[in-house]
């Protein structure tokens, strides 16, 4: 093993294997390793140009003689070796004489370091397990490697971020997370540590991340290199700013995105969707967006309106826009083998292929294959069809569903993309899906681009992605899990996030228990980045026997408008539509902050109060921007809520107007008609009149 400097890069080399450590923006480093003679060139999430910083590499020669041999009687065993340090602002990488790396902040404190359990020549820590921090094991019969990277575990460390997983733990310490996308799971492998650093696993391969009590371990089942980004900062806000500078920041949210979104599974015709919009406006209720869900098309992969049910899309769009409502249209990545586009896409290599077996990915209402969103040509082809059939008719915002994509089954070793085997690159699928529409809309001159997408990976945010949490259950347990999912997505660098109000799967509108859940979820969503009603709503309407274009038309769930659940529910939900409107200027300011700095819109208390140790432990409340502390009611039948108020300022209950000192837990009223919201000292918002 030897170390050398190549410009601003520090290289650790041994045979063909080499490790590159180099500055990557402010207070940040990128580390790459290959076992091949040439480093893989993919930058994956690190696509943004970063400023050149004042960094320095130093070398030092040290005595590494085994203590047993020291002394004049053993001169032949005297040895020296080289160590190196690369410093870039507030972070430095220290490489010892064996090539082990530790990362420290500007005060010399260890942020994290590689996990080695072998004997080194200085006998610092003699453990003959032969467990190394960086392993690239050749996958027999291929040119790929199975990768494992290990870091030390720290008892005091808390981990925030990593994307969207269906559990209730905001702090991921102690978790094993699959690095793969599924319906309701979005792997976004960036986290912020309570030890003062952020870490991006810059690898879209299928694998796992384990934040154990004995080791932190990352695994990729098939890859060509190790690649990660690490950044140091004095606050979580500084860390997020530096990470988003390297991976990209969200655009400014379009004005229509900040209001209320109306949606259900599914509005079945042009007349039905217009009647809902008209009734909403007749009642004097705010609505910014209405969504046209799946199977408004002829066949999957045709990417166009079915003309019998949607006879005049241009007229529909005009009437909606005259009412101040933006229409959003669902697009699926599935292409039916009977679609007019299947043949051309197959011939040009625009469909995901299978290495073995029958190449069908979904068999719901047709045998379908996913288009290959990693292929730039496929991105352009799908956009061109959507431009021709939707954009020219006035549609400017798209709902990109099934974006994981939702394989059945999720046997990733079966599938192959333009970018490579699915095992190596599957997690970038939603990035390419969103990028195709972002680039297409930008090319048409659109300034405000937003796509509702059912998945994301690191870097998705720069393509105007609004992620939602997929087909979740209608229950308080699911609501609690979505709270941490939204906070974790924000800390992972995806600031635009939402969930289906009331849950998607299940939910009988006539059931009092569901009505209570719907109320609590609706209240909470008013204080989420996007306020969006959706769900299938039991029992389904009697299925139709109608067949159009060789496809049986699917049925629909029950009505899902604010007046659909009885007068009491309507009376509670309706005021929150106006709360959202009164907060619009505040939300606009928070969205501007997300655009300019990468700050999450909804974030854990520790983001705004990093010096408050108790704020690190709070998982059931959050900050909605810098001024509002929101405490969703997460249990059926609850009428009070215990809240922790961070130290350093006073807080005013938006409902009771009572003021409290920070640094304490308080219990406040939470009757069915309100959600507890605490306003930070100096802030005054008209939430409850």
Q: What is the pLDDT of residues 446-500, one digit of tens each?
A: 999 999 999 999 999 999 999 999 999 999 999 999 999 999 999 999 999 999 9
> Which strand (E) or helix (H) includes residue 385?
helix 376-389
- Residue 125's pLDDT band (cuts 50, 70, 90): low
Do 12 and 158 have their domain in common? yes
**Of 575, 597, 619, which marks where a domain is finished?**
597
Do 164 and 269 have their domain in common? no
Do 591 and 471 have their domain in common? yes
Asked if residue 269 is part of any domain, the answer here is: yes
The candidate with the shortest Cα–Cα distance to 532, out of 492, 498, 490, 508, is 498
Asked if residue 453 is part of any domain, the answer here is: yes
**Of 216, 247, 278, which marks where a domain is finished?**
247
Does residue 288 carry a catalytic annotation?
Answer: no
- Domain CATH code at residue 474: 3.20.20.80
3-state DSSP assignment of residue 672? coil
Does residue 471 carry a catalytic annotation?
Answer: yes
The pLDDT of residue 381 is above 90: yes
- Residue 196's pLDDT band (cuts 50, 70, 90): very high
Average pLDDT over every residue of 572-579:
98
pLDDT in tens, 494-543: 999 999 999 999 899 999 999 999 999 999 999 999 999 999 999 998 87
Does residue 581 carry a catalytic annotation?
Answer: no
Asked if residue 376 is part of any domain, the answer here is: no
**Of 193, 214, 247, which marks where a domain is finished?**
247
Do 87 and 160 have their domain in common? yes
- Exactly one of 22, 404, 536, 653 is catalytic; name it: 404
What residues make up the domain containing 234? 2-247
Do 638 and 543 have their domain in common? no
- Exactly one of 22, 113, 302, 401 is catalytic; name it: 401
Do 298 and 171 have their domain in common? no
Asked if residue 379 is part of any domain, the answer here is: no
Calculate the average pLDDT of the chain.
95
Asked if residue 373 is part of any domain, the answer here is: no
- Domain CATH code at residue 37: 2.60.40.1760
The candidate with the shortest Cα–Cα distance to 530, out of 252, 259, 251, is 259
Per the structure, how many domains does the chain have?
A: 3
Cα 96 vs. chain centroid, distance in angstroms?
A: 36
Do 561 and 641 have their domain in common? no
Do 72 and 180 have their domain in common? yes
> Which strand (E) or helix (H) includes residue 111?
strand 110-113
The pLDDT of residue 292 is above 70: yes
Do 526 and 580 have their domain in common? yes
Position 119 scores a pLDDT of: 67
Do 475 and 571 have their domain in common? yes
Statement: the pTM of the whole predicted model exceeds 0.85: yes
Do 118 and 199 have their domain in common? yes
The pLDDT of residue 180 is above 80: yes
- For the sheet containing 531-532, what is the strand order? 497-498, 465-468, 451-453, 397-400, 326-331, 289-292, 260-262, 531-532
The pLDDT of residue 126 is above 70: no
Do 441 and 538 have their domain in common? yes
- Exactly one of 157, 340, 439, 471 is catalytic; name it: 471
Asked if residue 660 is part of any domain, the answer here is: yes
- Domain CATH code at residue 671: 2.60.40.1180
Asked if residue 292 is part of any domain, the answer here is: yes
Asked if residue 382 is part of any domain, the answer here is: no
CB 422 within 8 A of CB 413: yes
């Amino acid at each position: 093993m030897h170390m050398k400097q190549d410009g601003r890069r520090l290289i650790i080399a041994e045979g063909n294997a080499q490790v590159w450590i180099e500055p990557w923006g402010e207070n940040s480093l990128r580390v790459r390793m290959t076992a091949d003679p040439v480093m893989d060139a993919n930058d994956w999430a690190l696509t943004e140009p970063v400023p050149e910083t004042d960094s320095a590499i130093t070398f030092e020669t040290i005595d590494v003689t085994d203590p047993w041999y020291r002394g004049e009687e053993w001169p032949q065993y005297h040895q020296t070796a080289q160590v190196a340090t690369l410093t870039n602002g507030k972070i430095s990488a220290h490489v010892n004489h064996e090539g082990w790396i530790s990362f420290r902040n500007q005060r010399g404190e260890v942020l994290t370091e590689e996990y080695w359990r072998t004997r080194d020549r200085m006998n610092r820590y003699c453990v003959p397990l032969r467990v190394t921090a960086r392993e690239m094991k050749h996958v027999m019969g291929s040119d790929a490697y199975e990768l494992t990277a290990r870091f030390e575990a720290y008892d005091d460390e808390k981990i925030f971020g990593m994307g969207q997983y269906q559990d209730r733990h905001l702090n991921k310490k102690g978790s094993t997370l699959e690095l793969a996308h599924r319906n309701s799971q979005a792997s976004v492998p960036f986290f912020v540590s309570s030890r003062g650093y952020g870490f991006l696993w810059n690898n879209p391969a299928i694998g796992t991340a384990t934040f154990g009590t004995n080791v932190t371990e990352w695994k990729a089942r098939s890859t060509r290199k190790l690649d990660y980004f690490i950044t140091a900062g004095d606050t979580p806000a500084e860390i997020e700013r530096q990470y988003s500078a390297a991976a990209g920041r969200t655009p400014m949210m379009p004005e229509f995105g900040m209001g209320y979104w109306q949606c259900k599974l599914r509005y079945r015709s042009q007349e039905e969707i217009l009647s809902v919009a008209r009734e909403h406006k007749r009642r004097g209720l705010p609505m910014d967006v209405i969504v046209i869900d799946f199977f408004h098309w002829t066949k999957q992969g045709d990417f166009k309106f079915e003309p019998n049910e949607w006879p005049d899309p241009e007229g529909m769009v005009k009437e909606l826009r005259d009412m101040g409502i933006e229409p959003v249209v669902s697009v699926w990545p599935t292409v039916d083998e009977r679609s007019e586009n299947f043949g051309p896409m197959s011939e040009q290599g625009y469909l995901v292929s299978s290495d073995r077996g029958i190449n069908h990915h979904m068999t719901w209402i047709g045998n379908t294959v996913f288009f290959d969103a990693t292929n730039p040509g496929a991105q352009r082809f799908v956009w061109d069809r959507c431009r021709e059939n939707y954009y020219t008719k006035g549609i400017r915002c798209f709902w990109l569903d099934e974006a994981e994509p939702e394989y059945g089954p999720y046997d990733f070793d079966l599938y192959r993309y333009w970018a490579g085997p699915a095992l190596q690159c599957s997690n970038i699928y939603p990035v390419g899906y969103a990028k195709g529409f972002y680039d297409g809309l930008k090319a048409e001159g659109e300034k405000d681009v937003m796509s509702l997408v059912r998945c994301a990976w690191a870097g998705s945010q720069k393509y105007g992605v609004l992620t939602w949490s997929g087909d979740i259950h209608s229950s308080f347990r699911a609501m609690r899990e979505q709270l941490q999912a939204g906070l974790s997505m924000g800390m992972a660098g995806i600031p635009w996030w939402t969930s289906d109000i009331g849950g998607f799967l299940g939910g009988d509108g006539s059931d009092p228990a569901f009505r209570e859940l719907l109320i609590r979820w609706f209240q909470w969503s008013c204080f989420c980045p996007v306020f969006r009603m959706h769900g299938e709503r039991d029992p389904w309407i009697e299925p139709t026997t109608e067949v159009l274009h060789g496809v049986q038309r699917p049925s629909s769930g029950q009505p899902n408008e604010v007046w659909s659940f009885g007068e009491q529910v309507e009376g509670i939900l309706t005021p929150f539509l106006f709360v959202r409107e009164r907060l619009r200027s505040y939300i606009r300011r928070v969205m501007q902050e997300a655009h300019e700095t990468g700050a999450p819109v909804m974030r854990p208390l520790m983001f705004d109060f990093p010096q408050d140790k108790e704020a690190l432990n709070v998982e059931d409340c959050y900050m909605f921007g810098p001024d509002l502390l929101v405490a969703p009611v997460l249990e059926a039948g609850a009428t009070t809520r215990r809240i922790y108020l961070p130290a350093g300022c006073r807080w005013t209950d938006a409902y009771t107007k009572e003021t409290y000192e920070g640094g304490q837990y308080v219990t406040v009223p939470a009757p069915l008609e309100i959600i507890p919201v605490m306003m930070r000292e100096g802030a005054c918002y008209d939430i409850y009149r």
